[in-house]
Amino acid sequence: MQTLTSGRVISRQAGAVLASAVLLAVTATAALAKPHVAIVATGGTIAGAQTSPQGPGYTAGAFNIETLIAGVPQLKDIADISGEQLVKIGSQDMNDAVWLKLAKRVNELLAGKDVDAVVITHGTDTMEETSYFLDLVVNSDKPVVLVGSMRPATAISADGPGNLYDAVTVAADPDAKGRGVLVVLNDQVFAARDVYKTNTTQVDTFKALDRGPIGRVEEGSAELFEVPTGKHTTASGFSVAGTDTLPKVDIVYAYANMGRELIDAAVKAGAKGIVVAGVGNGNMTAEALQALTDARKQGVVVVRSTRLPSGAVTRNAEVNDDELGFVAAEELKPGKARVLLKLALMKTSDPMQIQQMFRDY
């Protein structure tokens, strides 16, 4: 009996050892498993080439995605990387057709079980607009990160490789999940809703003057310390699935002695919405105000934003929005206000419903 009992004890001990070994093996395998980050390239300065490293000027989007990935071999230490070339353009040529194509592809990739995050290489000129558009129409809580550079790939001290490494680092971080679309440049992480390009040439051009960055990248690791505000991604009510075109929305810039000609031209050209880059708190001349009032009577939705780099446009401050049927852009500056208005017009032309969208998003 004692021998049998001893045998059972030994058998149980052996089973426990075996179970521990299996658990350690599974844990080790999980630790070695890396996330799959899909990189979608659109061109931009990050893929740009100069005729001479010492000379001015360059061609945006000259290099393909394979070359960019090969230029940062350390990416393989962070994630399993795949790359695809969507378009090869400077972001000044970004348009509705490319936005729709990009949104469709990103949603397709994120719907797959084999893709954990998406990084998008993009020119900096309109990155703030593309990132916000995707923030509103991507239907996934998986990380989406836009990245670019201020110096072409052939420049001395090019910033693109480091930015790409940081972007993949953020995308591969589990803490980036559920934070909406992010923008990563110059070691900083920004929410798509809040970020703007503020300098023509400097590498620290991207800022979020009203809200600040939501994280940073230091020594190869991401630290995310803020949660973005506003509805986005899975909480967004917008979708461009099956959409071929977006409503036409124009921006008019306010200035001293502003007339009505540009506003009238936008209406004549078929604009469904007009965003005013107003002076101060979204203001404009009396003549321009009358033109916008006339446009509203023709069914055009008018949104008052500001040409200033920071601050919110408040409703009924100097312009009676309630009486005129206008919308106050809140914190959104003209480029982002145009993005939201284009999507809002797919749902309604009621200014009060659209005003609520500007508060929610």
- Report in angstroms the alpha-carbon separations of 356 from 242, 329, 350: 25, 10, 10
Other beta carbons less than 10 A from residue 112's beta carbon:
11
Both tokens assigned to 274: 């007009």
* Ranges of H-type helices in 227-350: 261-268, 286-297, 321-324, 334-344
**List 45, 126, 130, 306, catalytic entry:** 45
Full DSSP string of 199-211: -SS-TT-EE-TTT
Give the integer Cα–Cα distance in Å for 1 and 20: 29
Residue 31 falls in which region: left (phi positive, over 0), alpha (psi -120 to 50) or beta: alpha
Active site residue 45: yes
What Cα–Cα distance (Å) separates residue 243 from each residue in 41, 162, 239, 249? 22, 36, 8, 16
Strand, coil or helix: 252: strand
Catalogue the active-site residues.
Answer: 45
